């Protein structure tokens, strides 16, 4: 937490966060041009922001894209807002809100957190229906090999499609698959109204990737949900859904109890 406060204390680093908040997924060159800062200075500031977990990088071909990450802000809010009057930390709450608002002109949502577990245990929690039912409410039917089909089972309502497939599966390291189809049965099961469902049904299929990396006695989990249309309905839904879902996964692995599901 000290690293997060240190990273936020510098005005130049806050400008970088502001720039990414305005347009997520920028390259180093784009950040330098937009802020009129020397490349070396921007690189050093980004390294500190990344070390604090406030910025996450994702490789796309030869380019490295930079994204905001809200997880450290969640931790600060949980630790401090509950301890003091809201008026005394209004600025911090505003910053948390700003960082959680994923810009709609980016085609990817990126979220990183650290979990006190092992890569193998995290892999099991992402693939074993015994686990996924508890924190997600979904059981997956798949052999978890590249190219294998996936069936999503939510409360006994199954969603299957030839294009619902595993894209990459490296146990304990990386898992990627296409997102499920939007069907009337699914919409009814999760309480999605007709208007929202109609919008989702018109959007292209997206995909999600889980990157698993050892980090001392913890594991770094990065979720990248991309192939999303700008300003899409799905983009807005996952920006709220993934942080809550991963927080529940983290709680389950670290305490044995998932977080209670918020009322709808």
Question: Do residues 17 and 43 both lie within one domain?
Answer: yes
Tell me, yes or no, whether 228 lies in a domain.
Answer: yes
Residue 169 CA to its chain's centroid (Å): 19
Residues belonging to the chain:
264
Which residues have a Cβ under 8 Å from the Cβ of 44 and sit 6 or more positions away? Answer: none
Query: Mean pLDDT, the chain, as a whole number?
Result: 83
What mean pLDDT do residues 136-143 have? 95
* Residue keyed to tokens 């296409």: 178
Tell me how far apart the alpha carbons of residues 118 and 105 are, in angstroms, rounded to a whole number: 35
Angle, vertex CA 6, rays to CA 240 and CA 25, nearest 5? 40
Tell me, yes or no, whether 159 lies in a domain.
Answer: yes
Tell me, yes or no, whether 176 lies in a domain.
Answer: yes
Quote the number of domains for the chain.
2
Question: Do residues 116 and 138 both lie within one domain?
Answer: yes
Which pLDDT score, from 0 to 100, does residue 101 have? 44
Each residue's pLDDT tens digit, 167-177? 999 999 999 99
Looking at 53, 71, 101, the residue that finishes a domain is 101
Residue 244 burial (10 A CB sphere; 0-12, 13-18, 19+): middle
Which pLDDT score, from 0 to 100, does residue 73 have? 64
Q: Let me know: does 189 contact 157? Beta carbons within 8 Å.
A: yes
Each residue's pLDDT tens digit, 76-120? 665 555 554 444 444 444 444 444 444 433 568 888 899 999 999
% pLDDT > 70, the chain:
84
**Number of Cβ atoms within 10 Å of the Cβ of 23:** 13
98 vs 134, higher pLDDT: 134
Which pLDDT score, from 0 to 100, does residue 220 have? 93
Tell me, yes or no, whether 172 lies in a domain.
Answer: yes
What mean pLDDT do residues 186-192 have? 83
Question: Do residues 176 and 58 both lie within one domain?
Answer: no
Question: Do residues 215 and 130 both lie within one domain?
Answer: yes
Question: Do residues 43 and 6 both lie within one domain?
Answer: yes
Sign, CA dihedral 223-120-52-37, equals negative
Question: Do residues 140 and 208 both lie within one domain?
Answer: yes
What mean pLDDT do residues 13-18 have? 85
Least confident of 23-32, 91-100, 190-199: 91-100
Question: Do residues 126 and 245 both lie within one domain?
Answer: yes
* Residue keyed to tokens 């996952």: 238
Each residue's pLDDT tens digit, 143-153? 999 999 999 99
Tell me, yes or no, whether 106 lies in a domain.
Answer: no
Tell me, yes or no, whether 263 lies in a domain.
Answer: no
Residue 213 tokens read as 């990396």
Instruction: Report CA Rg, the chain.
Output: 19
Looking at 51, 82, 101, the residue that finishes a domain is 101
Q: Model's pTM, two decimal places?
A: 0.67
Question: Do residues 93 and 121 both lie within one domain?
Answer: no
Which pLDDT score, from 0 to 100, does residue 97 have? 46
Question: Do residues 119 and 49 both lie within one domain?
Answer: no
What mean pLDDT do residues 198-203 have? 92
Question: Do residues 147 and 90 both lie within one domain?
Answer: no
Looking at 101, 132, 156, the residue that finishes a domain is 101
Question: Do residues 166 and 120 both lie within one domain?
Answer: yes
What mean pLDDT do residues 154-161 have? 88
* Residue keyed to tokens 């990088």: 57
- Examine the pLDDT at 21 and tell me if it is beyond 60: yes
Which pLDDT score, from 0 to 100, does residue 88 have? 45
Which pLDDT score, from 0 to 100, does residue 81 have? 53
**Number of Cβ atoms within 10 Å of the Cβ of 54:** 25
Q: Which domain, by its residues, includes 161?
A: 111-255
Residue 92 tokens read as 């911090």
């Amino acid at each position: 937490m000290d690293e997060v406060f240190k990273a936020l204390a510098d005005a130049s680093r806050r400008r970088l966060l502001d720039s990414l908040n305005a347009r997520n997924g920028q390259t180093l060159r784009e950040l330098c041009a937009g802020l009129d800062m020397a490349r070396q200075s921007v690189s050093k500031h980004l390294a500190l922001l990344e070390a604090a977990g406030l910025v996450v990088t994702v490789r796309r071909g030869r380019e490295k894209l930079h994204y905001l990450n809200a997880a450290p802000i969640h931790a600060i809010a949980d630790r401090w807002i509950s301890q003091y009057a809201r008026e005394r930390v209004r600025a911090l709450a505003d910053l948390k809100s700003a960082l959680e608002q994923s810009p709609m002109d980016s085609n990817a949502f990126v979220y990183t957190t650290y979990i006190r577990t092992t890569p193998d245990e995290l892999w099991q929690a992402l693939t074993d229906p015994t686990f996924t039912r508890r924190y997600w409410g979904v059981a997956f039917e798949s052999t978890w090999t590249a190219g294998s089909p996936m069936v999503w089972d939510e409360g006994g309502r199954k969603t299957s499609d030839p294009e619902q497939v595993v894209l990459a599966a490296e146990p304990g390291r990386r898992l990627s698959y296409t997102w499920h189809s939007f069907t009337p049965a699914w919409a009814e099961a999760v309480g999605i109204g007709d208007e929202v469902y109609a919008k989702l049904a018109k959007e292209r299929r997206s995909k999600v990737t889980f990157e698993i990396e050892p980090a001392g006695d913890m594991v770094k989990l990065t979720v990248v949900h991309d192939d999303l249309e700008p300003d899409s309905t799905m983009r807005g839904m996952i920006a709220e859904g993934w942080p809550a879902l991963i927080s529940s996964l983290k709680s389950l692995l670290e305490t044995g109890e998932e977080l209670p599901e918020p009322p709808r």
